[in-house]
Structure 1
Amino acid sequence: MPHTSEWTVRLHLFEDDEGTTKAHLILDTGTTELTGHGTAHCHPADANVPEIGDELAAGRALNNLARQLLKTAEHDIEGMGAPRPHSRQVTGWPT
């Protein structure tokens, strides 16, 4: 049962004047759209390096999205009649 699909990811980064970077991440699967969010704050004593704020905010948004995607998959698996897994691992592949 071969299967190929393409999902689209859009990542938007915003930094305000106070050193806070926000990431807004949208995953479009063609049938579902999930949104992840992440923030990073620059400590006033630290040098303001926008790339680091971008990396932290984007990483946190990706992590947020990953948790949502795993929860969605778990819900879909249960909807197919499979029992709820006893461990936190949702799929049969090790993490």
Structure 2
Amino acid sequence: MPHTTEWTMRLHLFEDDDGTTRAHVVLDTGTTALTGRGTAHCHPADAYVPEIGDELAAGRAVENLARRLLNTAERDIEAPRIVNTG
């Protein structure tokens, strides 16, 4: 049976004064929300390029979210199902 749905993802980036970039991503499925977090740290000897910190932190947050989503799917697969025979 065909199925179409739309999920929304919001990504928030925050940079601290110490050169740490933090990312928080929220995936809203309409029935639940999953989150992922990631960070990046600028080494003092490196040139200050904010886009690199954003990319690293965002990539790590999305990767963290992906692991959580896969873990949720695995739990759902293993959960006992009630079959409606009615």
TM-score scaled to structure 2, two decimals?
A: 0.91
Alignment of 1:42-81 (within 5 A): 42-80=42-80
Matched length: 81
Q: Whole-Å Cα distance in 2 between the matches of residues 13 and 3 of structure 1?
A: 33
| Residue aligning to 2:4 | 4
Partners of 1:14 and 1:72 in 2: CA distance: 27
CA deviation string 1:42-89 (max 9, x = no partner):
0000011000000000000000000000000000000146xxxxxxxx
Within 2, Cα distance between the matches of 1:80 and 1:48? 52
Cα distance in 2 for partners of 1:21, 1:53 equals 6
The higher radius of gyration belongs to: 2
3-state SS, counterpart of residue 56 of structure 1: helix
Which is bigger in relative contact order (C-alpha 8 A, separation at least 6)?
A: 2
| Matched residue, 1:14 | 14
Q: Distance in 2 between matches of 1:8 and 1:80?
A: 28
TM-score norm. by structure 1 comes to 0.83
Letter aligned with residue 61 of structure 1? A
Identity %, equivalent residues: 79
Identify the residue that residue 30 of structure 1 maps to in structure 2: 30
- Extract unaligned runs of 5+ from structure 2: 82-86
